[in-house]
Amino acid sequence: MSKNKPLILFDLDGTLTRPREQLKWHIVPVLRKLSRLADIGIVSGSPFAYIQEQGALMWNSISSLPGASVIIMPCNGTQLFVWSPKRCQFVCEYGLDFKNYLVSNDKEAIYTALIRGILELQLQFIDENQGFNKLTGNFISYRTSMLNWAPGGRDATLVERKAFAQLDKKKKIRSKLCENLRVTLDDLGLPDIEFALGGTTSIDIYPQGWDKTHALRHFPSRPTWFIGDRCEPGGNDYALWSLLARSGNSFSTSGPKETIRILEEEIIPILEKNNASS
């Protein structure tokens, strides 16, 4: 990983892959081409295990290329994993902790109350949508540096996830839950805790400043681009997308197919031109 090499950051679900699906072969060639010109970073709200599983084709195809580097930044970049050629695996070099944040701010006891408040809102969602028959379980996931709340349940299959996504699109379920969550957080004395819509089924909850812009702290002086799919206000890509948009270095995508087009028509030509003139 070179400190002077350009860095291309990607969201994962909805950008390089379909939500919670494996990376497909058709996107690998353009990523291999990109890896010769820039380092690749994955900035996702997902935990490391999810990212590692979904991006297996990328690690296997790129990690062996001379000079190529892929960096995994789970939970909005509040964790950092780099590839170790000697150990042939990703190694964690940085990580924050939500509970430690609360302890350091004398709010340790509030964590339990926060979980209770989320579960009360979960019960409200269930009561108001009793006709929704695709509900599963595992509604709250502690990801060390954030909480992930999936009102439909993290145990959902792809079919069940799509059913909740359709309900959410129709009734704005998560947006309404976020409004109530803001009230809960303020009542608990947690105005410094923020949230954003994660993917199509969940809500990410974390301390202020622990959004995806946190990833840039690891690379403060490198030319950086970003591609994500949830770039609208309230989406978990919005903060990073809007920050890099000031320099024209961010793109919103509708899925892997458009991501390939953005790389081939927008980013790679710029990198090749810059590389030729340097």
pLDDT of 66 strictly over 70: no
Percent of the chain's residues with pLDDT above 90: 84
pLDDT of 65 strictly over 80: no
Helix (H, G, I), strand (E, B) or coil at 81: strand
Ranges of each domain in the chain: 7-95+211-277, 98-207
pLDDT of 81 strictly over 80: yes
Domain 7-95+211-277 and domain 98-207 have a common topology: no
User: Once rounded to an integer, what is the mean pLDDT over residues 264-276?
Assistant: 94
- Residues 6+ away with beta carbon under 8 Å from 21: 54, 158
CA end-to-end span of the chain, whole Å?
19
Looking at per-residue pLDDT, the higher value among 267 and 84 belongs to 267
Tens-digit pLDDT profile for residues 197-225: 998 999 999 999 999 999 999 999 899 99
CATH class entry, domain 7-95+211-277: alpha beta
Tens-digit pLDDT profile for residues 165-194: 999 999 999 999 999 999 999 999 999 999
Determine contact, residues 206/145, Cβ cutoff 8 Å.
Answer: yes
Tens-digit pLDDT profile for residues 7-43: 999 999 999 999 889 999 999 999 999 999 999 999 9
Mean pLDDT, all residues of the chain: 93
pLDDT classification of 1: cutoffs 50, 70, 90: low
Bridge partners for 39 per DSSP: 7
H/E stretch holding 207? strand 202-207
pLDDT of residue 8: 98
Q: What is the CATH number of domain 98-207?
A: 3.30.1240.20
